[in-house]
Amino acid sequence: MPEYLVRLAQVHESFRKAELFALGELAGVTLEIVEYHENSPFCIVRLPSDAAAAKVISRSILSLGIHELWGRGPSYEALHESVKINTSHLWAKYKDVSFKFTVDCFQGTRTTAEQRDIIESFSYLAFEGPIRMKDPEVSFQVFEHYDEKAPHPKYFYLGRFIAESGRHAKSTYDLKKRHYISTTSMDAELALLTANIALAAPGKIFFDPFMGTGGFPLAAAHFGAYVCGSDIDGRSIRGTGGSSRKGQVGKRDVAGNFKQYGLEGHYLGAFVSDLTNTPLRLPAPSNNGIRHGYLDGIICDPPYGVREGLKVLGAREELGDIERSNHQARHKDPTYIPPKRPYSFMALLDDILAFAAITLVEGGRLSMWMPTANDEDVELIIPTNPFLELVSVCVQPFNRWSRRLLTYRRLPDSEAPADAVTRVRKEYEKGVRADELNAFRRKFFEGFKEADKLRAGDYAPEETPKKIG
């Protein structure tokens, strides 16, 4: 298989491989990573063809583009030598076509004169076609990799351009331009990335049980999925609560966001509900071994703090007979507000996994965000479920806390333990009550207070390290 150079964005590093593998799977091609470094925007992969390369990268959020790799090396001499060895049989093919040659310096700069010299040094390729800066038939790019603040580059590549990425969607869906958002709306880039990692694609159904202002369903719909969502807070869906956005007037709601992007045809709708008392069908495992999962993907950012108010339905205390009949008598009254009680975050995570195990189709994915304190003696907790296999863990670090995107794949029943079906169902139905009061959990949760405070600044520039090359 030929080698290609993926020009990555130097941002959200720990998500980049997970995205590449997901996109390979979506495109139905074998993708092998030959060389990858967390601190480099240059990644070398093996892919079966140019068409496969284009298919994989065209919807990538964390890359800029993909190039056929013509050569590489730690100096221009080495680069030229590698180009000559690898590609001399290809030169004739591009001899007469219009072309363009550019230089991309990562963490460095070149004057126009220097760039011209660099390009001239490739004159042995003997391309005789017209140079065309706009829409050339073939486009070559020299890449220089500098260490931060270094005067000279440390590594060089030459690539033939194959395809641009889908990164422009990041600005299309930018929260600053979205009609309806709230303080907990997920950053557009991360929402799109989540949809990619969860394999959102045309023809699929995606669901977000904590949809808020609909950031994840929108992202999944952008990639062609049909989407629906729910939230315990009806105001966030209907938008009647207004928005915390300054200067925002008039009615803005989730449906309006879908209209803004021309995606209303993909919006199956939303409903108000508590995940632990979901109205969604929870299909029983059938005797003949055919499962009835119906969701291709579940993507969400569960509530975990004071801001989002992690609550579930139900009274705080067990109801006595009198209270019970009081609720019964009043519940049809339009002013009746169903009471809610606090709930444990760990229990909710287990509930989400159990829900996913029941509703996902085989191979369907759950991608959910989860915060953690950056405290050395807090061991990472990764919730598990016998039907779900962990696919990837991606980390977005902040100063005192991080949040992680956990992605799971629904296993075929045949690969899960024999009693798993009944166990998972039972657990979901009774609602797993995790014990929050032990010391370990308490410590774990202390970090959240910090996280919760910081959360408001999720998309403030100083919180997200910005060093996109």
Ligand X SMILES: C[S@@+](CC[C@H](N)C(=O)[O-])C[C@H]1O[C@@H](n2cnc3c(N)ncnc32)[C@H](O)[C@@H]1O
Binding site for another protein (CB under 8 A): 202-205, 226, 228, 230, 232, 234, 237-238, 255, 264-274, 277-282, 292-294, 296, 313-315, 319, 323-325, 327-328, 330-332, 336, 338-339, 361, 429
The whole-angstrom separation of Cα 7 and Cα 64 is: 6
How many other CB atoms are found less than 10 A from the CB of residue 315? 14
Tokens of 397: 């670090």
186 binds, among another protein, ligand X, none (CB under 5 to 8 A by kind): ligand X
Between 321 and 419, name the residue whose CB sits nearer to another protein: 321
- Which residues sit opposite 65 in a β-bridge? 7, 164
Pairing of strands 311-313, 340-342: antiparallel
We find the least distance from the C-beta atom of residue 237 to another protein, in angstroms, to be 5
275 binding ligand X? (CB under 6 A) = yes
Residue type, 22: A
The whole-angstrom separation of Cα 271 and Cα 309 is: 18
DSSP per-residue string spanning 58-124: TT-SSEEEEEEEEEEESSHHHHHHHHHHHHGGGGGGGSSS-EEEEEEEET----HHHHHHHHHTTGG
- Residue partners of 77: CB distance under 8 A and separation at least 6: none
216 binds, among ligand X, another protein, none (CB under 5 to 8 A by kind): ligand X
CB 221 within 8 A of CB 266: yes
Stretch that binds ligand X, among 52-60, 143-151, 205-213, 386-394 (CB under 6 A): 205-213
Size of the site for ligand X (CB under 6 A): 24
Stretch that binds ligand X, among 27-35, 110-118, 272-280, 370-378 (CB under 6 A): 272-280
215 binds, among another protein, ligand X, none (CB under 5 to 8 A by kind): ligand X
Buried b (16+ CB within 10 A) or exposed e, 389-402: eebbebebebeebb
Between 380 and 456, name the residue whose CB sits nearer to ligand X: 456
**Cα distance between the two ends of the chain:** 28
184 binds, among ligand X, another protein, none (CB under 5 to 8 A by kind): ligand X
In angstroms, the Cα distances linking 422 to 354, 403, 413, 429 are: 11, 32, 12, 11
We find the least distance from the C-beta atom of residue 278 to another protein, in angstroms, to be 7
DSSP per-residue string spanning 348-387: HHHHHHHHHHHHEEEEEEEEEEEEEE--TTSPPP---BTT
46 binds, among ligand X, another protein, none (CB under 5 to 8 A by kind): none
CB 190 within 8 A of CB 169: no
Between 50 and 452, name the residue whose CB sits nearer to ligand X: 452
Stretch that binds ligand X, among 11-19, 220-228, 257-265, 269-277 (CB under 6 A): 269-277
Between 268 and 468, name the residue whose CB sits nearer to another protein: 268
277 binds, among ligand X, another protein, none (CB under 5 to 8 A by kind): another protein
We find the least distance from the C-beta atom of residue 180 to ligand X, in angstroms, to be 9
Tokens of 232: 């315990």
209 binding ligand X? (CB under 6 A) = yes
Judged by CB under 6 A, the chain residues 312 through 351 that form the site for ligand X are 312
184 binding ligand X? (CB under 6 A) = yes
Between 296 and 308, name the residue whose CB sits nearer to ligand X: 308
212 binds, among another protein, ligand X, none (CB under 5 to 8 A by kind): ligand X
One of 3, 25, 50, 233 touching ligand X (CB under 6 A): 233
